Amino acid sequence: MDRLNIVKGNIVKAKTDVIVNAANTSLLGGGGVDGAIHRAAGPMLLEECKKLNGCPTGEARITPGFKLNAKYVIHTPGPIWRGGGKGECELLANCYKNSLNLAYEKCLLSISFPSISTGIYRFPADIASKIALKEIYDFLSKHTDFEKVNIVCFDYDVYKIYKKTIKEFNKN
């Protein structure tokens, strides 16, 4: 599936129609990729996010990208890892599902994801990568006109985990 790529890099540089922000439920910015996206987009992004009045975990909201290369940002709060018994896997799957469906609804056919929840929210990257790739493959098989999904890994260890997982998916 050449429409899905795992890349090492900084998502703020991505040139896809939309990039996904691993936000928190306030949508008022934070550290990690959330902080990087807000810094690169400029203060207008926070002003726009304030109008959204937050977003529940697993859901997705869209804003313009302002000073980013990407025209839009989809903000999705991932779940905090609490050991795996509190519905974290389903909530993470919903982040990918809802972000992809929202992009498609807006006729945006190329998207870049960070590795949602695997930083400050401590979700194990090996489990998260399987959830992410399953949802993305399912979506791409149903939407043959969708052009590209990049998973942009900032952290080399996370990049290696996604590359390993995609190899396992391609074998099956």
Q: Does 91 bind ligand APR (CB under 6 A)?
A: no
Identify the three-state secondary structure at position 81. Answer: coil
Q: Does 31 bind ligand APR (CB under 6 A)?
A: yes
User: Among residues 2, 17, 34, 138, which one is catalytic?
Assistant: 34
Rounded-to-integer distance, Cα 149 and Cα 49, Å: 24
Rounded-to-integer distance, Cα 82 and Cα 143, Å: 33
Residue 35 or residue 56: which is nearer to ligand APR going by CB?
35
Residue 63 or residue 115: which is nearer to ligand APR going by CB?
115
Identify the three-state secondary structure at position 131. Answer: helix
Q: How far is the CB of 122 from ligand APR (least distance, A)?
A: 7
CA angle, 80 then 83 then 84, to 5°: 85
| 145 catalytic residue (yes or no) | no
Contact 152, 112 (CB under 8 A): yes
* Token pair 């304030």 in the structure block, residue: 50
Contact 162, 8 (CB under 8 A): no
Residue 43 or residue 141: which is nearer to ligand APR going by CB?
43
**What is the pattern of x (binds ligand APR, CB under 6 A) and - over residues 109-148?**
-----xxxxxxxx---------------------------
Q: Does 11 bind ligand APR (CB under 6 A)?
A: yes
Among 55, 74, 53, which residue's Cα sits nearest to residue 63? 74
Q: Does 93 bind ligand APR (CB under 6 A)?
A: no
The residues binding ligand APR (CB under 6 A) are 10-12, 22-24, 30-36, 78, 114-121, 152, 154-155, 158
Q: Which residues have a catalytic role annotated?
A: 34
